[in-house]
């Protein structure tokens, strides 16, 4: 069965925030609300310095802590592995915001609902590809089915030995090349 | 103001806003439609969705974009797949600037400045009439040479502003280049006869960036091609005091003292010549002046270079040898504004040295080297319909004093000097915020105050508009039609900016409508008897396509220019690559490509200050856009960068507030302490510190670098020396 | 941090309400004649829990806009909050009925008290597990926190009920040695549990150590030492401990009354401070 | 109801650009005043001119316009219109939002067309209050209630925006002292007007309940 995931190659990300704005636009978010946040990492000291920007967003974990703690079961996982929020059930208790170790859940000011990256889910399908992948100027993002070995994402994961950010925390489905 | 309306039945003296007599039946109807009912009903009926192609106005790349509208309102924006610059993607600015049409920060009607400096709305007719009268007055008293226009070229802007000014008899047409890349392009022009070149990334083995960052000054296609080259294992060297956002693709970072890139390049040239690593065949057949250059370069040993630019001698030798090994599939990248676009006293010479090193490597026109490509030219249009404008007699102000400036751009600082000494009395600005960005704002305000007439055409009340007598509002990019945009390179294209949404504010006009209005008011209307559609169609016909074809497709590929690798024809007076240039000699500079020091040498305790672009902003234009402003605020992008070791010495921690001061100004800003910067250097992003109270989200947010820069013009070229300054920093005890 | 003082109030009031109910059950068993304290305990329980639930609803904005969604709270038994809702659905009616019976001077049946006792314990414990299961925050994610919350709930409930007992039924209250002894013991236990938790958390992970540091010496040090430790634990321990272990005599003077009121009040303040600091000082595990 | 609606409309009209003949508009507003509802004093001519040129004009120095779209999310966030949500869905400070689109539907239904100056602002308070008055005059209380509930619930946000603009002006005074004082007075007067209008609308909706 399909298991959607994403690969983010921080060796190509130039930190231009296009994905953040495109995501805000397509999800109808206000300017202060963003499903993607950016951690700037500096390693080493002058002059041997390695600096990178790491975009962090919902990892659509298979053992999603937010889904586990959500009392109203507003957070659910589709059979294709995409973690979504049923806006009709969420009471805004923010338990999922506390449980998410990546801190990527955002309260939508207009409705009080706690939302996150939805892989641009629309009418039963994720974005083809999601808007952040579509607008990435340096091609640092690949989206696809992790269960399909022929898919571009699986081959790229194999080629670059991409790993989730912190495999000990959750079974994340976003693989990073760093 | 408001003309009197039909009287309302409600109360005879009351004025009505809504015209027409309301249908009494509908008024009395029960169960009128509430918002929630209307939204629900709209949910089912899929609205009228239309797609339109246009060109983004976020920066000068003018990437192709596809906008989707619903019921006439903008819904989503995406990159245009077929456009060579966007290739289906759109950077942050592209999404942000699409919001301009509906923004609350926009100019919506012409404004006129009162004596006390405040602005009041004025009708278009009155504005045109008053401006026309003032122009006639200036023409009568001082002649056409006293008029000038400064514009940041956009498809319609560059045609109409030139035509308007030439129709009035003045040759004073300038672009923004003097604050952008004038020195670089003039230098490349003197050496190669072309004003720019590009690196053949798909085949390159090694590329050296001098201060340029594809990751900050973003054009999606260049980021993609660099990513491709890095994937293929090309060596990417970044020569920059700051490890910029292109560092992610770099194999090595060469931190250098600001303003001394010329020394590093001459050191490399020395190694290539001294160790006989240069391309003899190219040098003998296709260049002039090599012997004089070789003699001069002999003294620029790596050891000497290390003393000037603080890059270790063996790094210079290693770089030279690596380049020689990779030649000809290697190149020094032409850069844009950062290091030698308009930065130091030696920017022009640095550009020439860059070309000289490429010549020594023999990479001109080679695979993986430096390519000079052609651009499509518009044929002649029917003079009956589009009357010829007579060539102005007088030479452009500033050309005499700055002969090396590109003829196509001139140096707009000649307008500043012209206003001061009275030779220029009437100035027009189109799509240009000269006051805030082209030189020190105080100096611009002082000069413009002396002019008799200053008119600014813009979408928002910028600092330049504040210094003007009249401000004419243009409609934003998605609401207007512009002339075709011709795109050069290995392949030729033509794209079109078509209106995608109806005009939000009826009182705003597009660039062509404004210039036609101005022309008629100034008595030269006879040169504008056409609409922008007619001219566009005529221009497109000369290159074998039509307005409807391009409007439909958004972009059309033109006849294949038949680009081939191989040494290009150098369009220089000597038809060869010029290590020495007669024109440079006439301008009183050393004709042979050599060393020129930087003007300001920071003393002990002082810092060099360098500027640079950020991926979400375009010079001083986009800071008030809420989508982009929110990012700058959330990630504190207005901060001054300081090297960790300097911060430790001064007892400054990350996030502290410091006072930055130079001979010209001082201001307070938060600090970002980082290892990505050479000690002794400070970096300030060049988008902040707006002083216009009309731009509420931008005013007072961060510092404007140009406030700190003394006004210097580069000799013979005339570009603003935007980084010739020494600054001091002091921690602010709160 | 995600939550703020509203949720701190909710956790404190839910705990104190359970503690009050348990105190009244204890008083009913050990001091049947002390009617005023028993009634006080049983009235305080539903009031505190009611206010707490109100705070919870006010903080959950989406639920506030469409209250019907609160019925979904029972949908995910895997979530500690849903378990908490189950316990509260038992404890709230029980405590309300108990309070009504007391007000109408009717005897409270034994089985009802036992159901109340069990559900009270569950409510007190659930508030600890609510934070305990969250792996993202080391300060929460440890086995001791629930214990600390239960102890704190008991001593807060006891303090609230004793406060009423002290003011309305002073003579008898002064002679209820078991109550006064348990006060001191609970404060002592809470201190020990708190210290052990801080030590274990700070040795567990870097973020844990940082959270503890921000409590002990950092940003929250004044609230931690002043509010929680001094006012919330040491002062009540000393004030209650003095008559119980040192003088062993019944205090009657008004000054001792005022001092005791300060002691009981201190426990309540300490209880709230504990919840607030645990929420605010928690730092997340770094994923990068 | 009719009297209250007229008063609301008279106050709403004061936010339009009257130029020279604003005294007539004020007299008319005062004449229709309902007991217990205060009418702000007539401002001096320069203050009124500042208010019109620098507060009630888009793109002006202290532009703070009584246009509903600016104070409400631009488009229904859930994108319930048979497509993905809007480009700037929940963003505020944008013109031609959902409220404007709905008002245009309403005007078409009533065969009323919007003057060119208000094309970008069909949900300007002057037009909204005029339609409310038309409905009231036709005796359609339910429509007035709908309109007040849907389209006249943002006046407090507008008052706050004016107050914030005044605070910003005090924080960073203009160079010209006279200009500064006049603009400050204009903004203060604007707050007063908005407050009076809010109370009048509240009074109107109470009377309909």
pLDDT at B45 over 70: no
pLDDT at D84: 58
Q: C65 to chain A: which residues are within 8 Å by CB? A: 111-112
pLDDT at B13 over 50: no
Which pLDDT band, with edges at 50, 70 and 90, does D138 fall under?
confident
Radius of gyration for chain B, computed over Cα atoms and rounded to the nearest angstrom: 27
Strand, helix or coil at B493? strand
CATH class of A4-177: alpha beta
Q: Report how far residue D141's alpha carbon sits from residue D209's, in angstroms, rounded to the nearest whole number.
A: 10
pLDDT at B32: 58
pLDDT at B9: 36
Contact by Cβ (8 Å): C130, C105: no
Fold of C5-280: Formate dehydrogenase/DMSO reductase fold (1.20.1630)
Interface test with B, best of D81, D152, D168 (most B CBs within 10 A): D81
pLDDT at A162 over 50: yes
Q: Are strands B453-458 and B173-175 parallel, antiparallel or unpaired?
A: unpaired
Radius of gyration for chain A, computed over Cα atoms and rounded to the nearest angstrom: 16
pLDDT at D63: 86
Mean pLDDT of chain C: 90
Which pLDDT band, with edges at 50, 70 and 90, does B35 fall under?
confident
pLDDT at B694: 87
- Taking an 8 Å cut-off on Cβ atoms, the answer to whether A103 and C85 are in contact is no
pLDDT at D146 over 90: no
Contact by Cβ (8 Å): B721, B341: no
Q: D123 to chain B: which residues are within 8 Å by CB? A: none
- In the structure encoding, which two tokens stand for residue B352, read together? 């020439």
Which pLDDT band, with edges at 50, 70 and 90, does D36 fall under?
low
pLDDT at B673: 96
- Poorest-pLDDT segment among B720-734, C249-263, D116-130: C249-263
pLDDT at B4 over 80: no
pLDDT at D79 over 50: no
Mean pLDDT of chain A: 92
pTM for this prediction: 0.90
The mean per-residue pLDDT over the stretch B315-333 comes to 95
pLDDT digits over B378-417, tens only? 888 888 889 999 999 989 999 999 999 999 899 999 999 9
Contact by Cβ (8 Å): B480, B454: no
Which domains are present in chain B?
Answer: 111-172+377-480+502-532 (3.40.50.740), 182-374+575-586 (3.40.228.10), 607-731 (2.40.40.20)
| Token pair 């970044």: residue | B238
Whether the complex's predicted ipTM surpasses the cut of 0.90: no
pLDDT digits over C159-201, tens only? 999 888 888 877 777 778 888 888 889 999 999 999 999 999 9
pLDDT at B84: 94
- In the structure encoding, which two tokens stand for residue D123, read together? 């949900």
> What are A's interface residues with D at a Cβ cutoff of 8 A?
25-31, 33, 87, 108-111, 122
Which pLDDT band, with edges at 50, 70 and 90, does B7 fall under?
very low
Q: Report how far residue B291's alpha carbon sits from residue B593's, in angstroms, rounded to the nearest whole number.
A: 11
pLDDT digits over C70-90, tens only? 999 988 899 999 999 999 999
Q: Report how far residue D113's alpha carbon sits from residue B486's, in angstroms, rounded to the nearest whole number.
A: 42
Give me the percent of chain C exceeding a pLDDT of 90: 62
Q: D78 to chain A: which residues are within 8 Å by CB? A: 28, 87
Q: Report how far residue B23's alpha carbon sits from residue B14's, in angstroms, rounded to the nearest whole number.
A: 19
pLDDT at C128: 93
Q: Which residue would you say has higher pLDDT here, B516 or C248?
A: B516
Q: Report how far residue B655's alpha carbon sits from residue B676's, in angstroms, rounded to the nearest whole number.
A: 16
Q: Which of A28, A87, A109 lies closest to D89 in CB terms?
A: A28
- Sorted by where each begins, the domain ranges of chain A are 4-177
Which pLDDT band, with edges at 50, 70 and 90, does D87 fall under?
low
- Taking an 8 Å cut-off on Cβ atoms, the answer to whether B104 and D70 are in contact is yes
pLDDT at B10 over 50: no
Contact by Cβ (8 Å): D101, B71: yes
| Token pair 């600015």: residue | B93
Q: Which of C150-154, D13-17, D149-153 has the highest mean pLDDT?
A: C150-154
Give how far A103 is from chain D: nearest CA, Å: 22
- Taking an 8 Å cut-off on Cβ atoms, the answer to whether B95 and A22 are in contact is yes
Which pLDDT band, with edges at 50, 70 and 90, does B12 fall under?
very low
pLDDT at C127 over 50: yes
> C-alpha dihedral over B277, B281, B284, B287, to 10 degrees?
-90
Mean pLDDT of chain B: 91
pLDDT digits over C264-277, tens only? 899 999 999 999 99
pLDDT at B30: 64
- Sorted by where each begins, the domain ranges of chain D are 2-66+124-208
pLDDT at B346: 94
pLDDT at B185 over 90: yes
**Of B470, C159, A7, B693, the residue nearest D175 (C-alpha):** B693
- Taking an 8 Å cut-off on Cβ atoms, the answer to whether D85 and A27 are in contact is yes
pLDDT at B420 over 80: yes
Give me the percent of chain D exceeding a pLDDT of 70: 90
**Of A100, A105, A18, the residue nearest A53 (C-alpha):** A18
The mean per-residue pLDDT over the stretch B503-520 comes to 93
- Taking an 8 Å cut-off on Cβ atoms, the answer to whether B14 and D93 are in contact is no
- Taking an 8 Å cut-off on Cβ atoms, the answer to whether A108 and D78 are in contact is no
pLDDT at C208: 92
Give me the percent of chain B exceeding a pLDDT of 70: 95
Which pLDDT band, with edges at 50, 70 and 90, does D118 fall under?
confident
CA distances from B76 to A36, B50, B99, B475, B501 (A): 19, 11, 10, 19, 12
Q: Report how far residue B112's alpha carbon sits from residue B41's, in angstroms, rounded to the nearest whole number.
A: 45
pLDDT at B329 over 50: yes
- Sorted by where each begins, the domain ranges of chain C are 5-280
CA distances from C96 to B613, C52, C85 (A): 66, 15, 16
**Of A140, A131, A141, the residue nearest A22 (C-alpha):** A131
């Amino acid at each position: 069965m399909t298991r959607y995931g994403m690969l983010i190659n921080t060796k190509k990300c130039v930190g231009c925030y296009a994905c953040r704005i495109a995501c805000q636009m397509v999800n109808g978010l206000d300017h202060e609300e963003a499903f993607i946040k950016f951690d700037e990492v500096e390693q080493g000291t002058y002059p041997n310095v390695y600096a990178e920007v790491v975009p962090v967003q919902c990892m659509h974990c298979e053992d999603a802590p937010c889904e586990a703690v959500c009392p109203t079961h507003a957070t659910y996982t589709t059979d294709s592995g995409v973690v979504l929020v049923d806006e009709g059930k969420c009471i805004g208790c923010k338990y999922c915001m506390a449980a998410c170790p990546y801190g990527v859940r955002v309260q939508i000011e207009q409705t009080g609902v706690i939302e996150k990256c939805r892989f641009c889910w629309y009418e039963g399908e994720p974005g083809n590809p999601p808007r952040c992948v579509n607008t990435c100027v340096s091609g640092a993002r690949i989206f696809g089915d992790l269960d399909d070995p022929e898919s571009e994402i699986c081959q790229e994961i194999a080629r670059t030995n991409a790993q989730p950010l912190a495999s000990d925390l959750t079974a994340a489905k976003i693989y990073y090349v760093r | 103001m408001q003309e009197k309306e039909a009287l309302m039945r409600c109360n005879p003296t009351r004025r009505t806003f809504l015209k027409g007599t309301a249908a009494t039946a509908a008024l009395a109807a029960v169960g009128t439609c509430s918002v929630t009912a209307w939204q629900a009903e709209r949910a089912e009926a899929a609205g009228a969705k239309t797609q339109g192609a246009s060109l983004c106005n976020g920066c000068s790349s003018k990437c192709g974009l596809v906008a989707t509208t619903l019921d006439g309102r903008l819904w989503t924006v995406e990159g245009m797949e077929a456009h060579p610059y966007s290739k289906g993607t759109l950077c942050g600015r592209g999404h942000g600037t699409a919001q301009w049409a509906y923004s609350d920060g926009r100019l919506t009607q012409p404004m006129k400045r009162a004596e006390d400096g405040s602005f009041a709305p004025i009708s278009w007719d009155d504005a045109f009439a008053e401006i026309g009268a003032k122009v006639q007055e200036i023409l009568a008293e001082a002649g056409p040479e006293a008029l000038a226009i400064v514009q940041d070229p956009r498809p319609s802007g560059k045609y109409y502003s030139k035509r308007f000014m030439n129709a009035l008899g003045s040759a004073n047409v300038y672009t923004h280049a003097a604050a952008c890349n004038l020195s670089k392009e003039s230098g490349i022009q003197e050496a190669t006869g072309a004003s720019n070149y590009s690196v053949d990334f798909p085949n390159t083995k090694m590329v050296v960036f001098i201060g340029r960052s594809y990751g900050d000054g973003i054009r999606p296609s260049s980021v993609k091609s660099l990513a491709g080259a890095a994937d293929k294992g090309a060596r990417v060297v970044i020569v920059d005091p700051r490890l910029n956002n292109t560092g992610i693709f770099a194999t090595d970072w060469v931190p250098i003292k600001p303003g001394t890139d010329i020394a590093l390049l001459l050191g490399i040239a020395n190694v290539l010549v001294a160790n006989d690593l240069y391309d003899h065949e190219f040098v003998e057949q296709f260049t002039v002046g090599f012997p004089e250059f070789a003699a001069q370069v002999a003294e620029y040993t790596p050891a000497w270079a290390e003393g000037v630019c603080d890059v270790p001698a063996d790094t210079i030798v290693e770089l030279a040898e690596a380049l020689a090994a990779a030649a000809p599939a290697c190149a020094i990248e032409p850069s844009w504004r950062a290091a030698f676009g308009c930065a130091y006293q030696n920017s022009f010479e640095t550009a020439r040295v860059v070309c000289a090193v490429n010549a020594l490597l023999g990479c001109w026109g080679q695979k993986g080297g430096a390519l000079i490509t052609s651009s499509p030219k518009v044929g002649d249009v029917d003079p009956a319909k589009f009357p010829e404008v007579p060539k102005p007699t007088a030479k452009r102000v500033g050309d005499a004093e700055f002969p090396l400036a590109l003829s196509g751009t001139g140096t707009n600082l000649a307008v500043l000097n012209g206003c001061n000494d009275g030779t220029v009395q009437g100035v027009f600005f189109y799509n240009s915020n000269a006051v805030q960005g082209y030189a020190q704002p105080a100096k611009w305000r002082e000069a413009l105050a002396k002019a008799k007439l200053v008119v600014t055409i813009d979408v928002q009340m910028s600092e330049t508009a504040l210094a003007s007598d009249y401000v004419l509002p243009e409609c934003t990019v998605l609401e207007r039609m512009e002339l075709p945009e011709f795109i050069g390179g290995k392949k030729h294209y033509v794209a079109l900016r078509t209106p995608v949404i109806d005009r939000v504010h009826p009182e705003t006009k597009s660039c062509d409508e404004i210039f036609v209005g101005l022309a008629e008011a100034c008595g030269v209307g006879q040169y504008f008897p056409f609409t922008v559609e007619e001219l566009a169609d005529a221009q497109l016909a000369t290159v074998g396509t039509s307005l409807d074809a391009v409007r439909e497709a958004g972009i059309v590929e033109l006849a294949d220019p038949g680009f081939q690798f191989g040494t290009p024809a150098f369009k220089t007076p000597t038809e060869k690559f010029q290590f020495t240039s007669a024109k440079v000699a006439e301008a009183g500079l050393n004709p042979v490509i050599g060393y020129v020091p930087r003007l300001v040498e920071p003393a002990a305790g002082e810092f060099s200050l360098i500027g640079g672009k950020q991926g979400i902003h375009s010079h001083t234009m986009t800071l008030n856009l809420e989508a982009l402003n929110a990012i700058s605020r959330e990630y504190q992008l207005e901060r001054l960068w300081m090297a960790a070791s300097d911060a430790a010495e001064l007892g400054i921690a990350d996030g502290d507030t410091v006072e930055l001061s130079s001979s010209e100004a001082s201001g307070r800003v938060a600090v970002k302490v980082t290892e990505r910067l050479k000690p002794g250097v400070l970096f300030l992003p060049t988008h902040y510190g707006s002083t216009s109270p009309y731009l509420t989200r931008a005013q007072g947010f961060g510092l404007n670098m140009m406030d700190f820069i003394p006004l210097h013009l580069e000799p013979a070229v005339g570009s603003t020396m935007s980084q010739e300054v020494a600054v001091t920093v002091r921690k602010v005890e709160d | 941090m995600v939550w703020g003082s509203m949720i701190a109030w909710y956790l404190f009031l839910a705990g104190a309400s359970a503690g009050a109910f348990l105190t009244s059950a204890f008083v009913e068993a050990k001091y049947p004649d002390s009617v005023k304290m028993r009634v006080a305990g049983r009235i305080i329980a539903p009031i505190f829990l009611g206010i707490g639930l109100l705070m919870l609803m006010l903080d959950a904005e989406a639920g506030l806009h469409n209250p019907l969604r609160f019925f979904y709270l029972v949908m995910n038994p895997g979530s500690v909050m849903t378990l908490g809702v189950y316990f509260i659905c038992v404890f709230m009616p029980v405590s309300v009925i108990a309070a009504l019976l007391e007000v109408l001077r009717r005897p409270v049946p034994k089985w009802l008290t036992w159901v109340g006792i069990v559900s009270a314990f569950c409510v007190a414990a659930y508030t600890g597990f609510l934070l305990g299961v969250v792996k993202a925050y080391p300060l929460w994610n440890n086995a001791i926190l629930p214990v600390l919350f239960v102890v704190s709930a008991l001593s807060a409930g006891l303090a609230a009920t004793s406060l009423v007992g002290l003011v309305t039924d002073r003579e008898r209250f002064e002679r209820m040695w078991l109550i006064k002894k348990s006060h001191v013991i609970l404060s002592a236990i809470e201190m020990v549990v708190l210290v052990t938790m801080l030590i274990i958390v700070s040795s567990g992970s870097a973020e844990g150590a940082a959270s503890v540091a921000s409590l002990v010496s950092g940003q929250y040090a004044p609230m931690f030492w002043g509010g929680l430790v001094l006012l919330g634990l040491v002062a009540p321990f000393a004030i209650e401990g003095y008559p119980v272990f040192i003088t062993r005599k019944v205090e009657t003077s008004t000054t001792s009354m005022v001092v005791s009121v300060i002691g009981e009040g201190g426990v309540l303040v300490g209880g709230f401070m504990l919840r607030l600091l645990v929420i605010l000082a928690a730092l997340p595990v770094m994923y990068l | 109801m009719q009297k209250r609606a007229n008063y609301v409309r008279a106050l709403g009209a004061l936010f339009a650009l009257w130029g020279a003949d604003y005294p007539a508009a004020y007299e008319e507003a005062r004449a229709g005043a309902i007991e217990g509802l205060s009418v702000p004093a007539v401002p001096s001519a320069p203050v009124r001119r500042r208010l019109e040129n620098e507060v009630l004009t888009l793109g002006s120095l202290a532009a703070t316009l009584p246009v509903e779209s600016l104070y409400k999310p631009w488009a229904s966030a859930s994108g319930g219109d048979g497509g993905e949500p809007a480009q700037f869905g929940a963003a505020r400070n944008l013109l031609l939002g959902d409220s404007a689109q709905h008002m245009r539907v309403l005007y078409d239904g009533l065969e009323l067309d919007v003057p060119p100056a208000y094309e970008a602002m069909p949900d300007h308070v002057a037009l909204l209050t005029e339609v409310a008055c038309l409905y009231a005059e036709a005796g359609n209380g339910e429509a007035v209630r709908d309109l007040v509930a849907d389209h006249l619930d943002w006046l407090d946000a507008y008052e706050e925006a004016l107050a914030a603009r005044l605070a910003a002006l005090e924080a960073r005074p203009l160079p010209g002292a006279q200009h500064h004082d006049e603009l400050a007075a204009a903004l203060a007067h604007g707050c007063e007007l908005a407050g009076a209008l809010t109370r009048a609308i509240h009074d109107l909706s109470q009377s309909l309940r």
